[in-house]
Structures are given as structure tokens and as C-alpha cells.
Amino acid sequence: MLDPGQIARCVRCDTVLDAYATFKPHAWLAIIITGIIAFVLANAFPVVTLSFQGSTQSATFLDAARVTWDAGYPLVAILTFGVGFAMPFLHLSLLLWVFGALAFGRLPLGFEAAVRWIDWVKPWSMVPVFLMGALVTIVKLVDLASLQPGIGLFGTIAVAVIMTGLTRLDSERLRFMAHDMGLSVSHPPLPRPPSPLMLQRTWALVIGALILYVPANLLPIMYIRAFNGSSGHTIMGGVIELWQMGSYSVASVVFIASVVVPIGKLIGLIVLLILTQRSSEVALKRRTRLYHMVEFIGQWSMLDVFVVILLSALARFGALLEFEPSTGAAAFGGVVVLTMVAAMGFDPRLAWRRAGHRRHLGEAAPASANSAGAGTAQSA
């Protein structure tokens, strides 16, 4: 059990293993219930209302997913519905189930299964990314029509903030929390050694993402149809348009999320795969940190896809103005999914094992705790 201000780190790779829990279960339960209320508001009310030449159009997130389905892009609709609604809802529901029991000093039924599902669902809960997409959408439309933020937007802001805080809760932290309460928590089975076959699976996913990345950038991600004609817009075209509008900060955010992050993920994964295959001992700690960074930033590439579905739902004014998703959005969504699955399937322990670090270092570096950190004798 850690004291206030202490953290536990792996003595080999410096990964944070545990930190002192400032919030107790009843406090987390209150935060989760608040998040659920905000989630209901975010999806029951319009995100924004658009007025254009006497016509008014409003849309919720669910409206955006439905419009995308009706436009003939069911895969994009299913993907955005899953990561923007289904997964966040499941994440909040699982946390409510766990903390609803922990707050009263007992373990919930199916505790082990619930915490494993929390780990699996968490990376796919993309409410913060959707919020950024909504803000980018507002910037894109502000010069075309009159915009009125809705209750759904403020609900989304609240959910994004709360769910960002809830990402701290993983299976290990929940087990430690239950153990500190004196509850009988079974130890999870030790993880199996990473299989070398993981490299082949990860390479296949990375190559698939590289193939999809070409049409994702060359093909239009959306079409704009207006009374004076229609035009297709690629990802870079949207960035250039925002820059020309004077929205330099928003253009920079979109460029980083939709161009820099996907390329960075692919390059990072390729570097990790090559060095692991070569059993290289070069910068093992930095490579472990690189892996965690690649895994963390993966979901932000969904930004442009959320922008497209929101524009399609809001700008529906017949022959006057209409936004429609295009093939580039489906290809880009595929890139996001493949790179995320590739990052989740890669195990940085394999790099250490292939470099010869197979023995437990506990005897050489006993665990210690202090205000800067608590070293633990766990292997990478």
C-alpha cells in the first residue's frame, strides 16, 4: 500500500505500475454517476443548431451516425457509433457496476470479468475526440451560417472531461483499490510470455494500414454540394481551407490529428517491429515509452471522421447546401482501426526478451518507496 505522493515504477523500464489513490470508491462513484447524467444529455439533445437562409437544422451525435448510414457508408456509421456512443456507454456502465459495490465495501459479481472488460473498452471510448471534432465542425461552419450551441455540446464537454479522468482506472488500479479495502481479490493469472508470432500479426496490420492510408489521403473524405456546384475535399484540403479561413490553431490541431498522428503511429510501429526482430538492445527504455505514446495517441486520428459525420448531419439544406461523406472517410477509418489494433497487439516485453532480458531483476533491485517514486521488482 502506497503513502500519499508515492508512485510505483518498474525498476527495468520505468513504467508506472501504481500510484497513491487520492479518490476513494464513493468519490469515484459520484463522478461516474455525474458522467452518466452528462452522457444522457450529450446524446439526447442537439450538439449544435445551424441556421442557413431561413432554414434551421440541428443534430445529435446519433443523428450524425444515422445520416452517415443513410448516405451509403454503413461501416463508417458503425465505427463512429461504436466509439462515440456504444463503447463510452459500456465503459461507464462497467465502472458503475464495479464502484456501485466498492462504495459499499464489497466486491461486485463478476469483478474480474468487469475489470478486464474495462481495460478492453477504455481505448475505444472516444468522447474527447468527438468533442474536438464538434469544435472543428463549428469553426468550419461559422462563416457559412448562424450557429447556436446546444445542450448536447455542453454535455459532451462534461463527459469528455470526466472520461479523461476515468482513464486512470484500469484493472490493476481497481484490484489494488479493492485489496486496500481489505476485500478478497484473487490474483490475476501471470501474463504469458509474448509470442514471436505477434510480430507477423502486427506487420500484417501495419501493412494493411499503409495500403489504406493511400486512398484515405488521395480520395475525397467528403463532398460539398451547393447551388453553384459541388466539390470534393481531401484531408489536406480541409487543413488548407481552415488555414485560409484564418483558423490557424484549429488547422494545426486537424493537421496534427489527421496527418502527423497517423504517420507517426505507422513510423513508430515500424521502428518497434524492426528493432524487435533484430533483437536490438538499443534504447529499450525509450522504445517502451515510444510504444506507450503510440498506443495513447491512436484514437485521436478519428477526429476528421467525426467532423465529416457531423457536417453531413448538420448541413442538409437540399440544393442550397449539403455535405456528404465519401470513400476517403471509410478508408481513413480503416487506418485508425488497424493502427490501434496493431498497437494493442504489440507487446513491448518481446523487445526486452529478444534482447536477452529474461531474468527477474528483483534480487538486484529490491522494491523501495519514496516521495519521488516507489520502485518495484517487476520485470518488463
Which pLDDT score is estimated for 359? 53
For the chain, residues classed under CATH 1.20.140 are 1-183, 194-356
Cell 507477423 belongs to residue? 200
What tens digit of pLDDT does each residue of 49-65 get? 888 777 788 889 999 99
pLDDT score at 363: 38
- The Cα–Cα gap between 186 and 55 comes to 60
Identify whether the C-beta of residue 335 lies closer than 8 Å to the C-beta of residue 301. yes
Q: Where are the alpha helices (DSSP H) in 5-150?
A: 25-44, 61-70, 74-81, 87-102, 111-121, 127-141
What burial class does residue 341 get, using C-beta atoms within 10 Å of its C-beta: 0-12 exposed, 13-18 middle, 19+ buried?
middle
Distance between CA 2 and CA 373 in Å, rounded?
Answer: 10
Q: What is the pTM of this model?
A: 0.82
Q: Tell how many helices (H) and how many strands (E) occur in the chain.
A: 16, 10
Lookup: cell for 75 = 461501416
Tell me which residues of the chain have a pLDDT lower than 50. Answer: 360-380
Residues 6 or more apart in contact with residue 335 via CB below 8 angstroms: 209, 212, 213, 216, 262, 301
Q: For residue 193, how many other CB atoms are within 10 A of its CB? A: 11
pLDDT score recorded for residue 241? 79
Task: For 205-254, write each residue's pLDDT tens digit.
Answer: 999 999 999 999 899 988 877 666 667 788 888 888 778 877 788 788 88
Name the nearest CA neighbour of 343 among 292, 276, 379, 304: 292
- Look up the CATH architecture of domain 194-356: Up-down Bundle (1.20)
Class of domain 1-183: mainly alpha
**What pLDDT shows up at residue 57?**
82
For the chain, what is the largest distance between any 2 Cα atoms, rounded to a whole number of angstroms? Answer: 75
